[in-house]
């Protein structure tokens, strides 16, 4: 069933015809049909061969507020990248729709997932203790980290005390939060990312731009360039199969020789002490099953009470993320293999504090599916790196300020608050309402530019006084000069740079009404008769 | 039934004919409509920017102007969404709550309250792309958004089907935000305009002659984008179409 | 205060107000028809896996070619002979040259086309990833209707490692082009064969 069958008003087709590839390299199935599972595109999307430098992310200047708009503008200045990015992520959103519409109980599943998370988060101390006890009983060594630095210190200590120098790992947003890779590199530990997208980003010394598809902002030409420089591949060969195979072949030796393996965690089950990971590549299973020492880094909000609850979350996760019914691998790590060590590090890093934020604690329900990013029209046109934060897109807007209020004070304004993010969220986080609420908090705590607040103050002063308001827009002959500036509250005229200005009408509705509907026009009196 | 007409500030200033069409249409379908003369704005520009303190006086004025009506009707989904969901900068007295609960957007007022089943005067013989303003679509539930797994419905399309000659065309991304976003259009002009360009290109590729919406702000933005790109699209508010405009 | 005590204390102190009971998860009607094997096979194929029916004719016909091409076969099942004894493996790295691994699934899931293994079936967990290709034996009687039914099974509570495989290793991280064998096996074939 396609989404077109389900939405009577959806027309098939792409809105950037220039990225529609002529050939199709995707795998075919046993019956010969084109496959589109995992994060595959439903139709071939390919950035044109024209060379275009990859736009880089937001400029980071200490704690100074991120200028997302500036970085987004540079992303838009690379139209081939932008079009491929937008089309590809929109395609994932459509795949998600088709998949969700195939499940009659979809909305009920979202409700359940949201309620299970709300329950767990409000009893998190108890469930964490239950998890710890179960894990210990399974022979796992459990560690607690108050923050990212604590996490890195604990892991480094585990590695050093066992003489481990090389660690292979699967993708983990938590370790991105902790700055894990950089910290380990500085301490002489070699870290190898084993997810293809994450590996591309590691080799390019760039952060992941998307929770699920870390290199989605890169074209195949960008990847070819990175791999040519770092893996020694043919710089002129940008065939996706060649590039992926090169990565496989060069990563495998690291997997075999690694002293330790690490994974993140999608779900941690309190009753059994199990860490669950969901991947398409099987790289978490390699990280967990090959080296003699395995470490699982777990954000404390990942806890769910029981195994049976996976029956809700697993059904939602990949369908929301990619439109696929399940990831290729759903892995449940509960105890060490014979003769090996298994460690679990429970990491807070701001989560317990966030739980105390009345309007924002439900953001802890997030299961990191990326659906809000795929659907976000601003994200798709800005690229994830424009947010200058570990978490980008809608979920980033409401989480990032909890890490650094000043630095990320601008992010909640990088949204039209259209609400699509809230509708696709599998755990029903009211994302766009939290964006609205963050703006209020940031204004109250003086984290918005004085210019912006000054403009709002002026607007409020005019709009609350009918006479002043009328004076500002009432005179028809001055409308062209005054109105646009007034209506868009804009001393900089950014409107007119990109769009034509609206025509100034001959008269306002107010003036028309006075002229046509009021028998005794009076400046301040309400009309007595509204008839013609 | 006493209906208070709220004409949002940008409609007042830029699209007075939308206000006129709303007034005439409501009268045509039998409402007694009053236009409180001291009205200005709902407070949305300030509230959406997080400046609630700056919005309070405007919100208080809105409530003062619109107390005492059975219904308050406005031709704008985003303003009605603001009143209903976000008019919270002032103490929530019974009068405030009453006004907030009585405020309706024109389409839902016609569809849900008046249950309009015929518009014999309306004829619009054109290919039309409908633009669902995000606040109308997801905020006050004009239609089932494509993200949600529930039976499809659309109040504005129900009404447009009562208009003779309307031929609806299908967009590739029917529910995608056009990028106006209130002050977003000013503070993030590059992304805002790009979203607008993509939206109008989609409308153009779909073969639309007219784009109809229940929100003038989105239309103003899209019109500006289409003109900049040189696309032959025309933009008109649903109030005008339902009131019998032919072009 | 230890990090542990600090975190637990903060969680207690910051607990949001309100009552949030744990909901009862209803048993949803499986979205599959009565022929679970047919449903399983169709969904597995969509996820990039292959399906062979060993119930009729020569049981191993569907995987004969794959086995014939392999130099190193590691079999964890009695139905198919291998030339690499998994029980003799001391370190997982030793199976990196395996061309084809053969394992029996604990069960399958019709809703998704998934199969479950635990360390008991795999013998060497890593073989299911380091091998180039994976052949999975599945008894049709072991196919469950949906994911929800799977998570009521006891294996998750008692295995050190349990994993659902749904087709082969896959990636589309480069421009959405689907590629099998990203890091793990390049193909996964389920052979229907009663225990």
ipTM: 0.98
Tell me how far apart the 2 most distant CA atoms of chain C are, in Å. 69
Measured distance CA(A242)–CA(A501) in Å, rounded: 50
| A457 to B221: CB separation less than 8 angstroms, yes or no | no
φ, ψ at A262 (rounded to 5°)? -135, 145
- pTM of the predicted model as reported, rounded to 2 decimal places: 0.95
Average pLDDT, chain A: 91
| A519 pLDDT tier (thresholds 50, 70, 90) | low
Distance from CA of A42 to the nearest CA of C (A): 8
A 66-85 residues inside an 8 A Cβ radius of B? 68-69, 72-73, 76, 82
Of B51, B86, B180, Cβ closest to residue A460: B51
Residues in Cβ contact with C41 at an 8 Å cutoff, skipping those fewer than 6 apart:
C51, C113, C190
Identify all chain C residues contacting A300, using CB atoms and an 8 Å cutoff: 7, 11
Distance CA C42, CA A466 (A): 67
Helical H runs in A162-239? 173-177, 180-186, 196-203, 220-230
- Chain A residues touching residue C3 (CB < 8 angstroms): 144-146, 150, 348
Question: A28 to chain B, minimum CA–CA distance in Å?
Answer: 26
For residue B183, pLDDT over 90 is answered with: no
Which residues make Cβ contacts (< 8 Å) with residue B163, sequence separation at least 6? B119, B122, B123, B124, B241, B242
- d(CA C18, CA C23) in angstroms, rounded, equals 15
Tell me which chain A residues have a C-beta less than 8 angstroms from the C-beta of B60.
464
Strand order in the sheet with A190-193: A141-145, A341-347, A293-299, A260-263, A166-169, A190-193
Tens-place pLDDT, residues A499-514: 887 777 778 899 999 9
pLDDT in tens, A130-177: 999 999 999 999 999 999 999 999 999 999 999 999 999 999 999 999
pLDDT per residue as tens digits for the range A408-441: 999 999 999 999 999 999 999 999 999 999 999 9
A142-172 burial code (b ≥16 CB/10 A, e <16): bbbbbebebbbebbbebbeeeebebbbbbbb
Band the pLDDT of A20: cuts 50, 70, 90: confident
pLDDT of residue A476: 43
Partner residue facing C111 (CB), from A35, A129, A325: A325
Q: Nearest 5°: CA angle at C59, between C58 and C60?
A: 100
Could you give the CA distance from residue C154 to residue A320 in angstroms, rounded to a whole number?
27
Nearest of A389, A387, A390, A393 to residue A373 by alpha carbon: A393
pLDDT at residue A11, as a whole number: 56
Distance from CA of B115 to the nearest CA of A (A): 23
Across the interface, of B11, B48, B188, the residue whose CB is closest to A414 is B188
Higher model confidence: residue A519 or residue A481?
Answer: A519
Structure confidence by residue, pLDDT tens digits, C81-115: 999 999 999 999 999 999 999 999 999 999 999 99
Contact C164 A326 (CB under 8 A): yes
Give dist(CA A364, CA A366) in Å, integer: 5
Q: Each residue of B54-70: pLDDT tens digit?
A: 999 999 999 999 999 99
Q: Can you tell me the distance from the alpha carbon of A426 to that of A66, in angstroms, rounded to the nearest whole number?
A: 29
Please tell me if residue B158 touches chain A, with a CB cutoff of 8 Å. no
Nearest to A311 among C148, C168, C175 (CB): C148
For residue B85, what is the nearest residue in chain A, using CA coordinates? Answer: A433
Q: Among A44, A310, A337, whose Cβ lies nearest the Cβ of C151?
A: A310
Contacts of A30 in chain C (CB under 8 A): 45, 49-51
Which residues partner with A331 through β-bridges? A277, C163
**Interface contact B191-A442, CB threshold 8 A:** no
The predicted-structure confidence for A173-228, as pLDDT tens digits, reads as follows: 999 999 999 999 999 999 999 999 999 999 999 999 999 999 999 999 999 999 99
pLDDT given at position A482? 42
Facing A11 at nearest CB: one of B171, B185, B225:
B171
Tens of pLDDT, residue by residue over C109-166, are: 999 999 999 999 999 999 999 999 999 999 999 999 999 999 999 999 999 999 999 9
User: Which of C100, C105, C117 is closest to C195 using CA atoms?
Assistant: C105
Close Cβ partners of A3 (under 8 Å, ≥ 6 residues apart)? A10, A94, A97, A98, A101, B146
- Long-range own/partner contacts, residues A479-488 (CB < 8 A, 24 or more apart): A479/A504, A479/A505, A479/A508, A479/B13, A480/A504, A483/B13, A483/B14, A486/A462, A486/B13, A487/B9, A487/B10, A487/B13, A487/B14, A488/B183, A488/B185, A488/B186
pLDDT of residue A470 exceeding 90: no
Interatomic CA distance for residues A453 and B187, integer angstroms? 12
Does C179 sit within 8 Å of A244, measured CB to CB?
A: yes
A450 inside 8 A of chain B by CB:
no
Count of H helices and E strands in chain B?
13, 8
Interface of A with B in 399-428 (CB under 8 A): 412-420, 422-424
What CA–CA distance (Å, rounded) separates A213 from A322? 10
Count the alpha carbons within 13 Å of A99 in the hemisphere toward its beta carbon: 30
Q: Tell me the C-alpha distance between A523 and A532, whole Å.
A: 19
Q: Tell me, yes or no, if A520 comes closer than 8 A to chain B by beta carbon.
A: no
A497–B179: do the CB atoms touch at under 8 Å? no
With CB atoms and an 8 Å threshold, state whether C175 touches A326.
Answer: no
Cα–Cα distance for residue pair C89/C158, rounded to 1 Å: 23
Closest by Cα among A495, A439, C176, A7 to B176: A7
- Shortest CA gap C72–chain A (Å): 18
Residue B187 contacts A, CB cutoff 8 Å: yes
**Interface probe, candidates C148, C176, C179, chain A, greatest A C-beta count within 10 A:** C176
CA dihedral defined by A331, A335, A340, A345, rounded to 10 degrees? 80
Min Cα–Cα distance to chain A from C185, Å: 8
Instruction: Give the nearest partner residue to C163 out of A30, A310, A332, using CB atoms.
Output: A332
The residues with which A347 forms a beta bridge, in sequence order, are A145, A299
Q: Do the chains B and A touch each other, judged by at least 3 C-beta pairs below 8 angstroms?
A: yes
Q: Is the minimum CB–CB distance between B51 and chain A shorter than 8 Å?
A: yes
Chain C residues closer than 8 Å to A25 by CB: 177
Whether B179 has a pLDDT exceeding 70, the answer reads: yes
Please judge whether C184 and A283 are an interchain contact, meaning their C-beta atoms are less than 8 angstroms apart: yes
State the Cα–Cα distance between residues B43 and C23, nearest whole angstrom. Answer: 40
Distance in Å, alpha carbon of C63 to nearest chain A alpha carbon: 13
Secondary structure string (H, E, C) spanning A143-175: EEECCHHHHHHHHHHHHHHCCCCEEEECCCHHH
Task: Report H helices in A404-478.
Answer: 420-424, 431-444, 450-463, 466-473
Q: A448 or A415: which carries more pLDDT confidence?
A: A415
Which site among C7, C63, C175, C189 would you substitute to test the A interface, given the most A Cβ atoms closer than 10 Å to its Cβ? C175
Residue A15 contacts B, CB cutoff 8 Å? yes
Rounded to a whole number of angstroms, the CA Rg of chain B reads 17
* Residues C12-38: tens digit of each pLDDT: 999 999 999 999 999 999 999 889 999
Give how far B118 is from chain A: nearest CA, Å.
Answer: 23
Distance CA A264, CA A519 (A): 73
Q: What is the pLDDT of residue A529?
A: 43
Read off the pLDDT band of A474 (50, 70, 90).
low
């Amino acid at each position: 069933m396609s989404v077109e069958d389900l939405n009577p008003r959806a027309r098939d087709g792409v809105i950037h015809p220039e990225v529609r590839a002529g050939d199709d390299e995707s795998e075919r199935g046993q019956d010969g049909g084109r496959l589109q599972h995992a994060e595959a595109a439903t139709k071939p999307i390919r950035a044109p061969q024209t060379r275009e430098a990859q736009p880089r992310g937001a400029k980071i200047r200490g704690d100074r507020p991120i200028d997302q708009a500036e970085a987004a503008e540079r992303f838009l200045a690379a139209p081939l990248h932008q079009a491929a990015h937008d089309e590809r992520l929109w395609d994932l959103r459509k795949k998600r729709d088709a998949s969700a519409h195939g499940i009659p109980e979809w909305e009920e599943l979202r409700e359940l997932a949201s309620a299970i998370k709300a329950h767990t988060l409000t009893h998190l101390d108890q469930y964490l203790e239950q998890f710890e006890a179960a894990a210990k009983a399974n022979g796992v060594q459990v560690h607690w980290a108050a923050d990212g630095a604590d996490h890195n210190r604990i892991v480094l200590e585990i590695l050093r005390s066992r003489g481990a120098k090389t660690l292979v790992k699967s993708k983990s947003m938590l370790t991105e939060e902790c700055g894990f890779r950089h910290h380990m590199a500085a301490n002489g530990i070699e870290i190898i990312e084993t997810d293809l997208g994450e590996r591309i980003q590691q080799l390019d010394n760039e952060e992941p731009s998307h929770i699920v598809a870390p290199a989605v902002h890169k074209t195949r030409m960008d990847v070819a360039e990175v791999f040519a420089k770092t893996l020694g591949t043919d710089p002129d060969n940008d065939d996706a199969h060649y590039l992926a195979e090169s990565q496989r072949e060069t990563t495998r030796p690291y997997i075999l020789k690694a002293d330790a393996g690490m994974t993140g965690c999608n779900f941690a089950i309190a009753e059994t002490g199990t860490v669950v990971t969901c991947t398409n590549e099987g790289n978490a299973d390699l990280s967990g099953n090959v080296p003699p020492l395995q470490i699982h880094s777990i954000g404390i909000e990942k806890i769910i009470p029981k195994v049976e609850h996976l029956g809700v979350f697993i059904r939602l996760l990949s369908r929301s993320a990619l439109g696929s019914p399940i990831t290729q691998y759903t892995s449940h790590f509960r105890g060490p293999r014979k003769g090996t060590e298994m460690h679990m590090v429970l990491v807070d890093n701001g989560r317990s504090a966030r739980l105390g934020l009345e309007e924002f604690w439900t953001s802890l329900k997030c299961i990191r599916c990326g659906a809000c990013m795929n659907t976000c029209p601003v994200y798709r046109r800005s690229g994830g790196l424009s947010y200058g934060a570990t978490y980008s897109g809608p979920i980033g807007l409401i989480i990032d300020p909890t890490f650094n209020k000043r630095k990320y004070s601008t992010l909640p304004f990088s949204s039209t608050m259209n609400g699509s993010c809230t509708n696709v969220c599998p755990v029903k986080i009211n994302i766009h309402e939290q964006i609205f609420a963050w703006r209020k908090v940031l204004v109250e705590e003086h984290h918005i530019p004085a210019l912006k607040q000054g403009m709002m103050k002026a607007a409020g002063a005019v709009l609350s006084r009918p006479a002043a308001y009328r004076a500002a827009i009432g005179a028809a002959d001055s409308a062209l000069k005054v109105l646009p500036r007034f209506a868009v509250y804009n001393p900089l005229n950014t409107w007119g740079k990109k769009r034509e200005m609206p025509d100034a009408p001959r008269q306002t509705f107010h003036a028309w009404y006075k002229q046509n509907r009021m028998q005794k026009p009076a400046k301040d009196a309400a009309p007595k008769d509204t008839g013609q | 039934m006493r209906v208070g007409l709220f004409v949002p500030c940008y409609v007042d200033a830029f699209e007075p004919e939308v206000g006129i069409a709303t007034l005439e249409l409501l009268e045509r379908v039998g409402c007694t409509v009053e236009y409180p003369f001291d009205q200005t704005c709902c407070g949305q520009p300030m509230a959406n920017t997080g400046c609630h303190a700056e919005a309070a006086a405007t919100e208080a004025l809105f409530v003062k102007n619109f107390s005492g009506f059975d219904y308050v009707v406005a031709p704008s989904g985003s303003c009605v969404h603001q009143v209903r969901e976000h008019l919270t900068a002032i103490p929530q007295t019974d009068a405030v709550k009453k006004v907030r609960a009585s405020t309706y957007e024109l389409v839902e007022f016609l569809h849900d309250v008046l249950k309009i089943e015929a518009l014999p005067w309306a004829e619009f013989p054109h290919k039309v792309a409908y633009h669902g303003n995000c606040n109308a679509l997801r905020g006050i539930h004009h239609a089932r958004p494509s993200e949600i797994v529930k039976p499809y419905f659309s109040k504005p399309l129900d009404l447009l089907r009562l208009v003779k000659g309307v031929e609806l065309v299908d967009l590739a991304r029917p529910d995608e935000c056009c990028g106006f976003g209130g002050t977003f259009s000013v503070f993030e002009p590059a992304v805002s305009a790009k979203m607008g360009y993509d939206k109008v290109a989609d409308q153009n590729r779909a073969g639309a002659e007219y784009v109809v919406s229940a929100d003038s702000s989105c239309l103003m933005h899209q019109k500006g984008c289409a003109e900049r790109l040189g696309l032959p699209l025309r933009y008109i508010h649903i109030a005008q179409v339902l009131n019998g405009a032919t072009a | 205060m230890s990090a542990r005590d600090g975190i637990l204390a903060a969680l207690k102190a910051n607990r949001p107000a309100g009552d949030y009971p744990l909901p009862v998860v209803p048993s949803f009607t499986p979205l599959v028809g009565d022929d679970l094997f047919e449903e399983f096979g169709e969904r597995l194929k969509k996820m990039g896996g292959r399906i062979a029916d060993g119930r009729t004719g020569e049981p191993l016909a569907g995987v004969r070619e794959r086995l014939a091409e392999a130099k190193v076969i590691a079999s964890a099942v009695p139905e198919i002979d291998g030339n690499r004894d998994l029980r003799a493996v001391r370190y997982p790295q030793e199976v990196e040259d395996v061309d084809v691994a053969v394992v029996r699934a604990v069960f399958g899931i019709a809703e998704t086309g998934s199969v479950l293994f635990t360390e008991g079936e795999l013998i060497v967990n890593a073989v299911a990833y380091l091998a180039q290709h994976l052949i999975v034996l599945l008894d049709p009687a072991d196919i469950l209707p949906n994911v929800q039914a799977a998570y009521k099974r006891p294996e998750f509570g008692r295995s050190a490692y349990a994993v659902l495989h749904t087709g082969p290793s896959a990636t589309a991280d480069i421009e959405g082009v689907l590629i099998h064998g990203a890091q793990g096996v390049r193909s996964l074939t389920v052979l229907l064969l009663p225990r």
